[in-house]
Amino acid sequence: MRAVLVTGGAGFIGSHFVKRLLGCEDISQVTVLDALTYAGHIENLGEAFLDPKLDFVEGNILDSAVVDRLVERHSHVVHFAAESHVDRSFYEAGAFLSTNVLGTRTLLNAASRLGVDKFVHVSTDEVYGPLLSGAADESAPLRPSVPYAASKAASDLVALSYHQTYGVPVCVTRSSNNYGPCQHPEKIIPLFVTRLLKGEQVTLHGSGQHMRNWLHVEDNCTGIELVLRAGTPGQIYNIGGGTDFTTKELTGHLLRLCGVDWDSVVHVPDRRCNDIRYAMTWDKITSLGYRPERDFEEGLTETVDWYRRNPDRWAPLMRNSHAARPTVALTPAGGEAHDH
């Protein structure tokens, strides 16, 4: 591999991925294209920001002039940039369609005209929608139920169509919920942890039986790197193997790690758009050598410690974020929302 363009590299997963790439001897150049929205922070890159192999470009994936200029200079593209927070998609769906679908198209247009060796489109298990039983493999129908998931499903289909129509060497990855350091405090784990560390209460919807698979961000990055190096163009790869927990079980772990009890939890009625369960298989990516390594208890403890040690990183974000607002009136079916 030579030069890799990483969109959204100042976000949560993208910044972990960039640090990993910078450590690879066969990669001579990593360029981050990031619009630095409320979700993107140069601080997420830490010392990697100063690495001579890294170029940082502040720009929008919808800007075809910037995108063309960058794609032309890179052999590989890994596309993370997106509006990623489910709750925001309830009241800003247009931004999700614009960035996630049209932004992806802008990148694909450049890749098809200028040529790349591989284009990895990073997506989510939420495109499969809720499953009461069983697990979705890569050929399962897409049944997204919230605007975020619908915009990701649409972008997956557009990306795959560019492989079929124009021969762009696209691979799609779909992972379960990620956790780890540097995640924006609007997402459930950092939202709960930061509130609990401040001595505030957290809200649990309904009986807290919503089931999610929690994958350490480094395990997702391992899968994405394998797909970048060895994935077959035109193929989708689910990346899972994290730990399945109900929201109530997850809350119990977070209470324990933050040293508080169930008095810190407020029970609120469930909301209609809270998908009951996501589940997928991930056998296919094992053929590329994928195996998740991170132990959940250890990874979660380390994550909570990161938030405990870095209040300067998250406290200012909470003041400006949806996570800090009472959102009952903003969500379609009532109740404060939170998802990955």
Binding residues vs ligand NAD (CB under 6 A): 7-8, 10-14, 34-37, 39-40, 60-62, 80-84, 99, 103, 122-124, 152, 175, 177-178, 184, 340
User: Of all residues in this chain, which one has the CB nearest to ligand NAD in the complex?
Assistant: 11
Pick the closer one to ligand NAD by CB: 103 or 147: 103
Which residue in the list 34, 83, 87, 125 is annotated as catalytic? Answer: 125
- Residue 268: phi and psi, rounded to 5, are -125, 160
Q: What is the DSSP string of 138-196?
A: TTSPP---SHHHHHHHHHHHHHHHHHHHH---EEEEEE-EEE-TT--TTSHHHHHHHHH
Q: How far is CA 201 from the centre of its chain?
A: 26
- In the complex, the smallest distance separating the C-beta of residue 108 from ligand NAD, rounded to whole angstroms, is 14
Closest CA to 303 of 227, 214, 211, 174: 214
- In the complex, the smallest distance separating the C-beta of residue 199 from ligand NAD, rounded to whole angstroms, is 26
Which residue in the list 126, 219, 225, 275 is annotated as catalytic? Answer: 126
Are 243 and 306 in contact by the 8 Å Cβ rule? The answer is: no
Pick the closer one to ligand NAD by CB: 35 or 110: 35
- In the complex, the smallest distance separating the C-beta of residue 277 from ligand NAD, rounded to whole angstroms, is 16
Residue 297 known to be catalytic: no
End-to-end CA, the chain: 31
- In the complex, the smallest distance separating the C-beta of residue 240 from ligand NAD, rounded to whole angstroms, is 10
Pick the closer one to ligand NAD by CB: 123 or 251: 123
Pick the closer one to ligand NAD by CB: 169 or 240: 240
**Helix or strand run (H / E) with residue 268:** strand 265-268
Pick the closer one to ligand NAD by CB: 12 or 237: 12
Which residue in the list 34, 83, 128, 148 is annotated as catalytic? Answer: 148
* Encoded tokens for 166: 């124009």
Which is it for strands 243-246 and 211-216: parallel, antiparallel or unpaired? antiparallel
Residue 125 known to be catalytic: yes
* Encoded tokens for 282: 């991930």
Residue 307 known to be catalytic: no
Are 279 and 135 in contact by the 8 Å Cβ rule? The answer is: yes
Closest CA to 254 of 296, 313, 299, 192: 192
- In the complex, the smallest distance separating the C-beta of residue 121 from ligand NAD, rounded to whole angstroms, is 8
Residues annotated as catalytic are 125-126, 148
